[in-house]
């Protein structure tokens, strides 16, 4: 039986797909059979970040509609063993995701994998609800700004009331992942601090991913940033995956980089 | 004439009063049994009923002979029955024995005494969620997020931060109050009187506060 983890946020563009790709890759690297599913039907981009867009033949909706088998639609990752991608359709809309269809696909995947990562679309509508409905755990991706925190709060409320686990009276384990964190802007009071966000959302902190050039670079190359072990964002994602697997690691990259000696003397 | 009435000192004044009076709640039992019980109680506490005014709550089936016997029995025990209570059909008996049949205040009590069945919620109330108690107080063991709303006919007590909206006394109870551990509210209302965050003094931000309605004004105080 696989553990189903939804990556969700409410607000758009906060880093869900970046996180889904990184976490799925990190779990696979750690030796766990992992599938990552793109629920963002109509706006395919998980496959781009995973660098497998040219190998997409069938997609999630084809499988739901019985137009392809799961085995036909799953794309095996080229770089990382144990990792498979189920891409979204670009030509359908999110209503194509029926609850029964999604359940059937997840049940079938559950037999084959240890982890199923569901990359949710933005918003709180049908697509987002389908992505989170069957989840055992949730990674709530949040940027350190008021509107993102507000939307995360909203999505946590939906997890706690409208997910299958909630309907059965069981808790969904929620993890807070603070992304695009910019310590110097926090210090200047332009962004919320880790403590502010933790206090408002009141769920466990899985990790803090710094705002980093390496993320854009990685996604342009179609390589999940977690594989860039030189980059701060890559290392922060590795820490987060280790914590997800139960390891206890201290949080890094929470403080602004100290300015170098010359910069302090000459400004800049 | 007008001068005369204006200067005359009235012979008496009429003033409504509320005095607590003990009630004897009676079943339609043989008087001998009631007397036995009375003697037993008087032995335990001889002064309990001495010249004590009492109202008799009569059973529906009471008849005049039984009531007269009952009154004798109580007066012999030095009690002072001052009124009867019971169904309207006891009016004739009341007149016959010379005591008032007091109006059953049950109907009135529904309006004046609010029943309170508190509701306790554990955990944070998230943005977009609404929690209501239409039967009394609401107690939140957690925070109320911005964009969340909590409502109660009674008071609201939040053992956490109030960042959303809290509306107490939603059916007009002006005695209701709102308390919270950290005040960051979007809106606080009691019985329809409200304050939005802009109207809350910045000095109260993040303070433990109680909000009450005093003479039509919402007063927020840190405690
Ligand atoms: N830690 C980071 N540092 C810098 N840029 C980032 C970081 N995380 C994400 N981004 C950038 O933010 C943008 C949105 O990221 P991503 O597509 O992962 O978000 P999303 O939540 O999946 O968006 P959508 O809601 O549209 O699905 C991308 O351009 C990505 O490169
Ligand atoms: Mg996305």
> ipTM of the assembly?
0.80
What is the reported pLDDT for B105?
A: 52
Indicate the range of A6-10, B62-66, B122-126, B183-187 predicted with least confidence: B62-66
What is the reported pLDDT for A260?
A: 57
Query: In B99-160, which ranges are continuous DSSP H helix?
Result: 106-112
Q: Is residue B7 part of a domain?
A: no
What is the CATH classification number for the domain harbouring B36?
3.30.70.260
Binding site membership of A34 for ligand 1 (Cβ less than 6 Å)? no
Whether B125 and B206 share a structural domain: yes
Whether B84 and B155 share a structural domain: no
What is the reported pLDDT for A256?
A: 79
Task: Show the domain range for B199.
Answer: 119-222
Residue B175's φ and ψ, nearest 5 degrees, are: -85, -10
What is the reported pLDDT for A244?
A: 98
What is the reported pLDDT for B3?
A: 47
A76, A78, A81, A84 alpha-carbon torsion, rounded to 10°: -30
With residue A265 as reference, give the H or E element that holds it: helix A261-266
Cα of A148 from ligand 1 centre, angstroms: 13
Closest residue in chain A to residue B147, using alpha carbons only: A150
Of B124, B127, B148, the CB nearest to A202: B124
Binding site membership of A10 for ligand 1 (Cβ less than 6 Å)? no
Binding site membership of A32 for ligand 1 (Cβ less than 6 Å)? no
Q: Is residue B192 part of a domain?
A: yes
Minimal-distance CA residue to ligand 1 atom 31: A216
> Which pLDDT band, with edges at 50, 70 and 90, does A265 fall under?
low
Backbone φ/ψ region at B67: left (φ over 0), alpha (ψ -120 to 50), beta: alpha
Reading across the β-sheet that carries B22-25, which strands appear in turn?
A: B22-25, B53-57, B80-85, B101-102
> Which pLDDT band, with edges at 50, 70 and 90, does A264 fall under?
low
Helix (H, G, I), strand (E, B) or coil at A107: helix
Whether B91 and B126 share a structural domain: no
CA atoms B135, B137, B140, B145: torsion sign: positive
Mean pLDDT across the stretch B86-109?
76
* End residue of a domain, out of B40, B68, B102: B102
Q: Is residue B110 part of a domain?
A: no
Whether B132 and B205 share a structural domain: yes
**Domains of chain B: total:** 2
Q: Is residue B111 part of a domain?
A: no
Whether B208 and B123 share a structural domain: yes
What is the CATH classification number for the domain harbouring B124?
2.160.20.70
Among A170, A182, A99, A109, residue whose Cα is nearest residue A136 = A170
Cα of A43 from ligand 2 centre, angstroms: 8
Q: Is residue B195 part of a domain?
A: yes
Whether B87 and B131 share a structural domain: no
Ligand 1 test: best mutation among A8, A15, A20, most atoms within 8 Å of CB? Answer: A15
Whether B215 and B137 share a structural domain: yes
Closest residue in chain B to residue A154, using alpha carbons only: B127
Whether B132 and B197 share a structural domain: yes
Whether B132 and B91 share a structural domain: no
Whether B80 and B174 share a structural domain: no
Binding site membership of A232 for ligand 1 (Cβ less than 6 Å)? no
- Rounded to a whole number of angstroms, the distance from the CA of A144 to the nearest CA of chain B is 16
Q: Cα–Cα distances in Å, from B72 out to A101, B34, B44, B81, B135?
A: 83, 12, 21, 10, 45
Q: Which residues in chain A are contacts of B129 at CB distance < 8 A?
A: 157, 161
Residues 6+ apart with CB under 8 A from A114: A2, A3, A27, A32, A33, A34
- Rounded to a whole number of angstroms, the distance from the CA of A52 to the nearest CA of chain B is 37
Q: Choose, out of B144, B145, B186, the residue to mutate when testing the contact with A (most A CBs < 10 Å).
A: B145
User: For residue A13, which ligand has an atom nearest its CA?
Assistant: 1
Return the top range by mean pLDDT from A201-210, A259-268, B93-102.
Answer: A201-210
Please tell me the pTM assigned to this model: 0.74
What is the reported pLDDT for B76?
A: 86
Closest residue in chain B to residue A151, using alpha carbons only: B127
Using a CB–CB cut-off of 8 Å, the residues of A that contact B are: 124, 150-151, 153-154, 156-158, 160-161, 199-200, 202
Whether B125 and B200 share a structural domain: yes
* End residue of a domain, out of B102, B127, B159: B102
Whether B65 and B98 share a structural domain: yes
Q: Is residue B139 part of a domain?
A: yes
* End residue of a domain, out of B44, B72, B102: B102
């Amino acid at each position: 039986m696989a553990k189903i983890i939804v990556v969700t946020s409410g607000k758009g563009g906060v880093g869900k797909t970046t996180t889904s790709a990184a976490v799925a890759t990190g779990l696979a690297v750690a030796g766990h059979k992992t599938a990552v599913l793109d629920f963002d039907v109509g706006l395919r981009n998980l496959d781009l970040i995973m660098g497998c867009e040219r190998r997409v033949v069938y997609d999630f909706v084809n499988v739901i509609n019985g137009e392809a088998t799961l085995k036909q639609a799953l794309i095996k990752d080229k770089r990382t063993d144990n990792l498979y991608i189920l891409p979204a359709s670009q030509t359908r809309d999110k209503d194509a995701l029926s609850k029964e269809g999604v359940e059937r696909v997840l049940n079938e995947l559950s037999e084959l994998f240890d982890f199923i990562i569901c990359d949710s679309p933005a918003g709180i509508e049908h697509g987002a609800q389908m992505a989170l409905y069957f989840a055992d755990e949730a990674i709530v991706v949040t940027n350190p700004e008021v509107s993102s925190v507000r939307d995360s709060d909203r999505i946590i409320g939906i997890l706690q009331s409208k997910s299958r686990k909630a309907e059965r009276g069981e808790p969904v384990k929620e993890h807070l992942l603070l992304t695009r964190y910019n310590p110097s802007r926090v210090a200047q009071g332009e962004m919320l601090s880790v403590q502010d966000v933790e206090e408002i959302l009141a769920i466990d902190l899985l990790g803090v991913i710094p705002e980093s050039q390496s993320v854009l670079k990685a996604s342009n190359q179609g390589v999940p940033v977690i594989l860039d072990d030189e980059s701060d964002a890559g290392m922060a994602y590795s820490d987060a995956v280790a914590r997800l697997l139960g390891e206890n690691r201290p949080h890094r990259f929470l403080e602004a980089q100290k300015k170098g000696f010359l910069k302090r003397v000459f400004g800049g | 004439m007008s001068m005369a009435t204006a200067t005359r000192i009235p012979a008496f004044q009429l003033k409504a009063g509320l005095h607590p009076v003990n009630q004897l709640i009676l079943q339609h039992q043989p008087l001998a049994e009631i007397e036995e019980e009375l003697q037993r109680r008087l032995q335990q506490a001889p002064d309990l009923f001495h010249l004590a005014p009492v109202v008799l709550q009569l059973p529906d089936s009471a008849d005049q002979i039984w009531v007269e016997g009952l009154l004798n029995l109580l007066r012999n025990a030095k009690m002072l029955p001052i009124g009867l209570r019971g169904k309207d059909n006891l009016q004739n008996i009341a007149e016959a024995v010379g005591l008032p049949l007091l109006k059953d205040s049950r109907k009135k009590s529904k309006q004046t005494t609010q029943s309170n069945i508190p509701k306790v919620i554990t955990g944070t109330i998230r943005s977009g969620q609404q929690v209501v108690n239409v039967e009394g107080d609401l107690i939140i063991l957690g925070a109320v997020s911005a964009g969340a709303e909590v409502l109660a006919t009674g008071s609201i007590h939040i053992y956490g931060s109030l960042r959303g909206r809290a509306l107490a006394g939603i059916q007009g109870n002006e005695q209701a109050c709102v308390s919270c551990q950290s005040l960051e509210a979007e809106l606080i209302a009691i019985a329809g009187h409200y304050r939005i965050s802009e109207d809350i003094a910045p000095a109260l931000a993040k303070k433990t506060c109680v909000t009450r309605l005093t003479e039509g004004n919402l007063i927020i105080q840190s405690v």
